[in-house]
Amino acid sequence: MKKLLLTGFGPFHTHESNSTFEVTNLLDGTIIGPFEVTGVILPVVFEEVFPTLKESIEKNSPDVIVLTGMAWGRDEISLERIAINLIDSERKDNNGVQYTETKISENGENAFFSTLPLQKIKSTLDQLDIKVSFSNTAGTYVCNQIMYKCLEFLKSEDQKIPAGFIHLPPDKTLKSESSWDIQDLSKAMEELIKALKY
């Protein structure tokens, strides 16, 4: 059976929880399609997020990596196409650190594209009437940072592991006007994962 590493984040900023924390914990240890899912919660901390992910990759040797984060202003699942070599955070991380116009990797590439089959994912979710769209910006905060660092690391290690970032909307417990509850988001992620079979 193939192994899928699914990551989420814990609470950050003023948010009491995080939809990706809940979804990742719900799916941890489950079997979805051809994948055994291992869920890992990453810290919303610039200096700690990639070391935590790297340790998880080395420990689990996944066949696919799906990173997730919460996009407060969105009400659909966002398939992130690209991560750019920039941190320019409007808010501090959970350790109180803030960066302005700072490169993630000093001598790194300007950007990395997701290596997940995004068109296949979108077609699958569209057929199920699950709200989904492509996104051309993962922001300039920790979400973009970890997508960039993950793809940079896999390239540097010559590991042909499909990887990318998915933004989930907040659920109703966090944002009353949201059209999603945690079960809806979990089911959507299950269908997304099923679409990753090769």
Which positions are catalytic? 80, 143, 167
41 three-state secondary structure: strand
Q: Which of 52, 60, 62, 64 is nearest to 166 (CA)?
A: 64
- Residue position matching structure tokens 């901390």: 45
Altogether, the residues listed in the chain come to a count of 198
Q: Distance (Å, rounded) from C-alpha 127 to C-alpha 194?
A: 13
102 three-state secondary structure: strand
Do 139 and 99 touch, CB atoms closer than 8 A?
no
**What are residue 9's DSSP bridge partners?**
42
Helices then strands (H, E): number in the chain?
5, 9
- H/E run at residue 126: helix 118-127
